Amino acid sequence: MKISDIRKIKIEHEGKSLDLLSEDDHFLRRFGSLEMLKITGGEESEFVLRKEADDLIFPISGQVSITVKDRRDASPSQGAQEKIELGPESGFGLLIPFNLAYSISSDGAASLIRLSTHKFSSKRGDQTISIKDFESYHA
């Protein structure tokens, strides 16, 4: 991974079940929000910038591309951009730490599970930024 702090999370297959997280995984204790996202084919989301929340994204159907951009001033990977391809067959989810912006796109229909340390809130400084405006955005 080019961007520091991003991590792929291995998904364990047990028969017909997928273990995304278990009680012995320290991430599980930190999350307080669970969402299911549905993506329409040919769609690219606005950039999501979480000021205090980590997000974990797991694909459950379809293939998605997640573009992550590091605009953190003190980061060793400041200015880096990375596109990560995920699908249920990849066997991975993605941890996106706070203060990294990301956008999700897909050529076809896709569904994702997003776990967050807390719900999206503009009161906490969370933002969505249009793709058009993102390049000129400064945190």
Q: Is a pLDDT exceeding 90 seen at residue 120?
A: no
From residue 57, alpha-carbon distances to 17, 21, 135, 137 in Å are: 17, 12, 24, 24
**Residue with the two structure tokens 């990294």:** 100
pLDDT at 32: 73
Mean predicted confidence (pLDDT) in 100-112: 94
Domains of the chain: 7-132 (2.60.120.10)
pTM of this structure: 0.80
The DSSP symbol for 117 reads S
